[in-house]
Structure 1
Amino acid sequence: MEQKLQLNTVDTLYIEVLELLKALIKTQSFSREEDKTAEIIGNFLADKGVKYKREQNNIWAKNLYFDESKPTILFNSHHDTVKPNQSYINDPFDAFEKDGKLFGLGSNDAGGALVSLIATFLYFYNRQDLKYNIILSATAEEEISGQNGVASILHHFGELDFAIVGEPTEMQLAIAEKGLLVLDCTAKGTPSHAAHPNDDNAILNAIDDIQWVRNYEFPKISPWLGKVKMTTTVINAGQLHNVVPDSCQFTIDCRVTDQYSNKEVYEIIQAHLKSEVKPRSLRLNSSSISEEHPVVKAGLALGRTCYGSPTSSDQAVIPFPSLKLGPGLSTRSHSADEFIYLDEIKEGIELYIKILEQIIYYI
């Protein structure tokens, strides 16, 4: 087994994980339907001589010389995808190469990062001179922030020092990430015939609250993530033209910075709105890692730059320091005819290894 793994150069690993990525693209893996891609990933690791564990549609493995006395790094990325949108021209499940690109659903988000982390894990797998353990996890339900993703298996891993979360960041260092808070609101009013006076119109009451959402600015501003952003995204009321409804429902999408917890933002909004406000969840908080953390300093030394990410990921449910880092471009995610450049995957593997080599060895 060791002899086989010692042949894992960057070039050979790149070729092997590229084929793995193509197999994943060709296999439907919408959130909660990732059973077949979990099997593919597990079989790939087994073929490389790596023992792995599976719980629901989550796969994880530890480095060969895992030592309980050492601190542990988690490599995590997801293998679920969103459903393809209506603007696709290509077959979303046809993993084909053209003009230096690999096309297909999940190629960029987050297949490229996932297979690059798998390659990096294999590169270090049988080294005995590491001062860190490594756990690799390929997880489910990231796209829906589901309960059966990475959060459901963290208790198996023991104490973790930090994580690298594989998402498309162009291999720049996303050291902070906005949290997500979705609020369902109900404005109440007095139902009546539209022909009669009514100063308690539920729709107009909702508009007053929506106007507050539009204009309010949270005072604390994050150096990396800027301001908390609130957006009204859904509204629904009434059925007949001549009836004033007794309620109006609307939804607020809140992108929360590291200056507030989701609970704090919810309580501020609740205090200002007349409408009833119900959070769908308070668990997807903002996350960040210090600029002084060794993994961040290692990336900076290699010419990488730090930034704050407006999009959410599995970082939101990982309760210890984590860095979002991976090949690909975030704006390609969920787009029609999704793709990743082949060179981005190769560079991703190389940079993951170079960053980790600065902190992972005893020598």
Structure 2
Amino acid sequence: MTPPDSPAPIAGSPLQNSESTVTELTRALVSIPSVNPDLEVDGDAEGPLARWIEVWLNAWDFDVSVTEPVAGRFNLVARMAATEPGPRVVLNGHMDTVGVSGMEVDPFAAEVRDDRIFGRGSADMKGGLAAAMVAARELARVGGPQSGELILAFTADEEYASVGLKALLDGGFTADEAIVLEPTGLEIQPANKGFTWLELEVKGRAAHGSRPELGRDAIRDAGRILAALDRYELRLAERDPHPLLGRGSIHAGTIRGGTAPPVYPDRCDLVLEARILPDESPELAFRRFEGILAEIGRDRPLDVELRQGLTRPGAEIPSDHPLVQGLESALRAEGITPRLSGMTAWVESAWFNEAGIPALCFGPGSLDLAHTAVESVPIAELESAVRVLTRYLQTAFAREDR
């Protein structure tokens, strides 16, 4: 299915933007709404944005494919290959954004102020998409890669269920390395945390509030579990911290229980989230918490059911991986001191790594401003990202360490 035609963005048509600066291109992308409809009912999804980018990349002779992994959601893959074999390098980003409710700036006006571009998706991650597109254009301008293949993989639904990238990988998509253009402030992030949701159903016994001998307070028992989260984190503190990510953590995400003040609650549901390191399995976090519950129950038995909910494993590549070293060299060549850090959130680089494609995060903007009421991206970082990515691509296709 072909996505619907996009509205004309503030900067004009794709062809009018074929020679745009990264600032102009970022503003154009921000001005095309692509809110994830699973997060905001009237969200436009990725279709209009994918159509606009498709036309822009076609103008530079990329082989562009737009597909629909699920109804109304769109992936875009653009390729430019050399005749000589070589590395397949992916620049990846997601086209969807979170919702715009409560924003303090016009989400789609792409206002330029204080050397920043404001609007939904400016940091997460249309600035990264624009930087990738301009770097790809600069490579195309000189005839494309001398060997190997450049692949732009812009996907759907990262902000909700990752159906876009999962569909690509499940369909056989492969490459030799991937740069995921999440907002890292131009820091190289070869490691990210994962998470697992621990779902607990704490059972009590309903009774009139005046008859404590007949009732059991499920919310109070849930409180005993919440108080034990400190005990869980003490166990985490016993291990050495990860050099880039520190330690794991756990917090209470939701709690629901009770029907009325004069009634002993017969049920309380908790969902806890444990953040886990790349070398920790979700099953380890589950077993660790089972042990905590057993300890609590020795004082006074608990009637509780523990289930493992949504889970995403952490991932990392070595700090001396050629992808890391290549970006470090490109940064130095552009006069920027390389900095390595860890991505504390779960990101789709983990899916690439799980599929056997070494991946890391690197891009303009700050995660601290992503999803916020005043989301923005510094223009200077956009420009630096283009220079670094362009230099990286020029050297990556000539590397002999494959």
Q: Any conservation in 2 of the 1:298–1:356 contact (CA below 8 Å)?
A: no
Q: Does 1:196 align with 2:211?
A: yes
**Residue aligning to 2:33:** 28
> Which residue of the partner structure matches residue 123 of structure 2?
108
Match of 2:153 among 134, 137, 145: 137
Which of residues 385, 391, 402 is equivalent to 1:348? 385
Amino acid at match of 2:78: A
Q: 1:261 to 1:105 in 2, by over 3 A?
A: same
Report deviation, 1:64. Answer: 3.2
Matches within 5 A, 1:1-363: 15-32=20-37, 33-56=45-68, 57-65=74-82, 69-86=85-102, 88-125=103-140, 126-130=143-147, 132-144=148-160, 146-156=161-171, 158-198=173-213, 200-217=216-233, 218=236, 219-220=238-239, 221-273=241-293, 275-282=304-311, 284-301=312-329, 302=332, 303-318=337-352, 319=354, 320-361=357-398
Deviation for aligned residue 1:122: 2.7
Q: How high is the TM-score relative to the length of structure 1?
A: 0.88
Aligned to 1:236, what secondary structure does the other structure show? Answer: strand
- Are residues 61 and 269 of structure 1, via their aligned partners in 2, closer, same or farther at CA, if it must alter by over 3 Å? same
Query: Whole-Å Cα distance in 1 between the matches of residues 258 and 170 of structure 2?
Result: 47
| Alpha-carbon distance in 2 for matches of 1:342, 1:314 | 25
Q: Please report how far the alpha carbon of residue 326 of structure 1 lies from its aligned counterpart in structure 2 after TM superposition.
A: 0.2
Q: Please state whether the residue corresponding to 2:310 is helix, strand or coil.
A: coil
Kept after mapping to 2: 8 A contact 1:164/1:322: yes
1:242-269 Cα shifts (integer Å, max 9, x gaps): 1111110111122211120223212322
* Separation (CA, whole Å) in 2 of partners of 1:325 and 1:215: 35
Separation in 2 of the partners of 1:24 and 1:214? 44
- The 8 Å contact of residues 254 and 272 in structure 2, kept in 1 or not, is answered as yes
Distance in 1 between the 2:152 and 2:187 partners? 21
Could you tell me whether the CA contact under 8 Å between 2:118 and 2:377 is conserved in 1?
Answer: yes
Distance between the aligned counterparts of 2:251 and 2:198, measured in 1? 10
In structure 2, distance between residues paired with 1:289 and 1:295:
9
Q: Output the TM-score relative to the length of structure 2.
A: 0.80
Deviations 1:19-69 (A, max 9, x none): 3322322222112422211212112112222221112211001113266x5
Structure 1 residues 306 and 80, CA gap change in structure 2 (3 angstroms): same
SS at match of 2:132: helix
Higher mean C-alpha deviation, range 231-240 or range 261-270: 261-270
CA distance in 2 between counterparts of 1:235 and 1:254 reads: 15
Residue 14 of structure 1 contacts residue 345 of structure 1 at CA under 8 Å; is this kept in 2? no
CA distance in 1 between counterparts of 2:391 and 2:172 reads 25
Please, which runs of 5 or more residues in structure 1 have no aligned partner?
1-11
* Unpaired segments ≥5 residues, structure 2: 1-16, 38-44, 69-73, 294-301
Tell me: CA distance 1:203–1:315, structure 2 relative to 1, closer, same or farther (3 Å). Answer: same
RMSD (Å) for aligned C-alpha atoms: 2.3
Counterpart secondary structure, 2:373: coil
Native 8 Å contact 1:109 1:333 kept in 2: yes
Task: Classify 1:105/1:231 alpha carbon distance in 2 versus 1 (closer, same or farther; 3 Å).
Answer: same
Q: Which residue identity is paired with 1:169? A: T
Cα distance in 2 between the residues matched to 1:194 and 1:248: 16
Q: Deviation at 1:215?
A: 2.8
Give distance in 1, aligned partners of 2:245 and 2:399.
Answer: 35
Work out the CA distance in 1 between the residues paired with 2:55 and 2:305: 50
Aligned mates of 1:170, 1:149 — CA distance in 2: 25
Q: What percentage of aligned pairs have identical amino acids?
A: 25
The offset of 1:271, in angstroms, is 4.2
Q: Is the 8 A contact 2:286 2:308 kept in 1?
A: yes
The one-letter code of the counterpart of 2:186 is: M
| Separation (CA, whole Å) in 2 of partners of 1:147 and 1:193 | 46
Alpha-carbon distance in 1 for matches of 2:50, 2:24 = 15
TM-fit CA distance, 1:128 = 4.5
The one of the two structures with greater contact order (alpha-carbon pairs below 8 A, sep at least 6) is 1
Q: Deviation at 1:167?
A: 0.8
Contact 2:193 / 2:278 at 8 angstroms: preserved in 1? yes
Range with bigger deviation, 350-359 or 237-246: 350-359
* Paired amino acid for 1:290: P
Q: Distance in 2 between matches of 1:316 and 1:298?
A: 20
Structure 2 CA distance for aligned equivalents of residues 169 and 14 of structure 1? 26
Supply the AA of the counterpart residue of 1:93: F
